[in-house]
Amino acid sequence: MSQTLPPKSSLWALLFEIDLEFRDQTRLAGCQHCGGKLHQANFMRKPRGNTQDLEPHHKLRFGLCCAESGCRRRVLPPSSRFLGRRVYLGIVVVLVAAFRQGPTAKRVSILTGEFGTDRRTIERWCKWWREDFRHSPIWRILRGLIPFPEEPVPRRFILAFDAQKSPSSQSLLMRFLCGSSP
């Protein structure tokens, strides 16, 4: 597998479109708390992971805010670009954790150089995949549907979606995973 991210013109545009769909679906559903109308409340993220060539609109996190005066609660639709509250782009969290599987220090130094990710951060991600994600309700439901049971979890996803080859398969993987991020 290659350690480089796909060109922004392909994957990032696909992930942005997926996030627009999620935003629109969430807006149509209304406020989870009072059923009120949702207004746009976007904000900029400062994602890490070799993002210097990323266009500004790809760093925009879609957010919604209830229009009802007594409620005004914030709603964050799922995102295929940002995996939960992590500051690294979601695809970086998936790819780096999958590349890291294997005990070599050389892999860690390559990943650190390529994505600007600290060794401790990589270890935290691997721990999240190993422990937190594997105990999540979504994984309990879907683990039988993902092939390659002999492979560790992030690598199973990469292989199942053939995500090492094309941006469209990487966007499908992120669409799938955004429902499981905390």
- What is the number of helices (H) and of strands (E) in the chain? 7, 5
CB neighbours (10 Å) of residue 80?
28
Is the pLDDT higher at 86 or at 179? 86
Cβ(139)–Cβ(129) under 8 Å?
Answer: no
> For a pLDDT cut of 70, what percent of the chain falls above it?
87
- List the chain domain ranges: 11-177
CA nearest to 79, candidates 47, 121, 116: 47
The predicted-structure confidence for 118-170, as pLDDT tens digits, reads as follows 888 888 888 888 888 888 887 887 788 888 888 888 888 888 888 777 778 88
Q: What is the pLDDT of residue 145?
A: 82
CA nearest to 19, candidates 75, 55, 60: 60
Alpha carbon of 180 to those of 21, 39, 104, 133: distances in Å?
Answer: 17, 25, 29, 8
The predicted-structure confidence for 100-121, as pLDDT tens digits, reads as follows 665 467 777 777 777 777 888 8
